[in-house]
Amino acid sequence: MDSGISLSIVTATLNERGNISQLIERVHNVLPKVPYEIVVVDDNSSDGTSELLEKISGRDSSLKVIINSHRNGLLSSNLKGLKESSGQIKLVMDADLQHPPELIPNMINRIREGIDAVVMSRFVDGSTTNKRNPYRTSATSMAISLCHLIVPQTRNFRDPISGFFAISNKVVVPYERLFTSLGNRRGYKILIPIIANNVDKQFVEMPYYFDSRHWGESKIGRENLLIPRYITELSQYRSLFKENAI
C-alpha cells in the first residue's frame, strides 16, 4: 500500500542531544515541499536525547521516534529504522552533522532519475574531509581494504563503509536475515550487507564534504578495537552473502 510518503530519512542516535535538533531543522529547511518522514531510533541514550526527541515529536508530525529499551548498536538501530519507515526512497545518515542534510535533494533526484542507490563517498574525486584523528583515518583506510578483501561484492566501491546513502524501493534490505544473524552482536556498517544483497542493482558514488562532529564524542568505542571489530563484522557478511560473490 502506498503510504503517501516519498522519502524516509533514517538516523540512529546515542547521546546526540546537542546535534539532533539542528539536524531536524536543517532537513526541514531543504525539504519543504517533499512528503517525507524523519525516523530517529534512539539507542537508549543517557544524556536526555530521547526526552528531547519525544518533546520535538509532539509538535512535529513528520518526526517518528523509536526508543530502544536496551543498547543495540548502530547497525541494529538503523535496520530497525529502515524497517519501520514508509518512504519509497529511504535515506540513511548520521545524527552528528558530519553528513550535510543540504545534499539530500541531489541524492533523491538521482534516485528519481533511475539510479537504484546513491552512496555519498569520502574517497571519490571532488570529496573533501575536515581534519580527522590520524589513527581514525588510518583505521578507515584499513577497514575499506579489509572490506574489499573479505566481502568481494564491495570491490567496485571506493567507500563501501559510508553511513550516508539513499536507496530506492527496488533495493532489497535483508532485514530478517540480518536480525537473525546479529543476535546480541553489534555491527556498524549497514551499507555493506545492502551492497552484498543487491549485486544486480545500479549504485553510484557521489562526492561530499565530510564534516567534523559538531557536538559530543564518537560512539564507536575504543579506537584500538576498531579493526578487530570490523574483521568480525565483515567475516559475518562474507558467510551470509557468499553465494552473491562477484
- What cell numbers appear for 208 in the block? 561530499
Distance CA 113, CA 98 (A): 26
Q: Supply the pLDDT for residue 224.
A: 56
- What would the pLDDT profile of 48-68 be if each residue is shown by its tens digit? 999 999 999 999 999 999 999
In the predicted model, what is the mean pLDDT of the chain? Answer: 90
CA distances (Å), origin 45, targets 182, 220, 230? 21, 14, 24
CB-based contacts of 220-224 (< 8 A; 24+ apart in sequence): 220/74, 220/188, 223/133, 223/135, 223/136, 223/139
Domains defined along the chain, listed by start: 7-244 (3.90.550.10)
What pLDDT shows up at residue 1?
A: 42
Tens-place pLDDT, residues 132-170: 677 778 888 999 999 999 999 999 999 999 999 999 999
With beta carbons less than 8 A apart as the criterion, state whether 92 and 78 touch: yes
Bridge partners, residue 9, by sequence: 38, 91
Residues of the chain with pLDDT under 50: 1, 222
DSSP structure string for 57-120: HTT-TTEEEEE-SS---HHHHHHHHHHH---SEEEE--SSSSS-GGGHHHHHHHHHTT-SEEEE
Rounded to whole angstroms, the Cα distance separating 102 from 83 reads 24
Burial class (CB in 10 A: 0-12, 13-18, 19+), 198: buried
Q: pTM of the prediction?
A: 0.92
Q: How far is CA 130 from CA 27, 133, 139, 149, 219, in A?
A: 21, 10, 16, 27, 19
User: Which residues 6+ apart lie within 8 Å of 25 measured at CB?
Assistant: none
Q: 62: closest CA among 89, 92, 91, 32? A: 32
Distance from the first to the final alpha carbon of the chain: 34
User: What's the pLDDT score for residue 157?
Assistant: 98
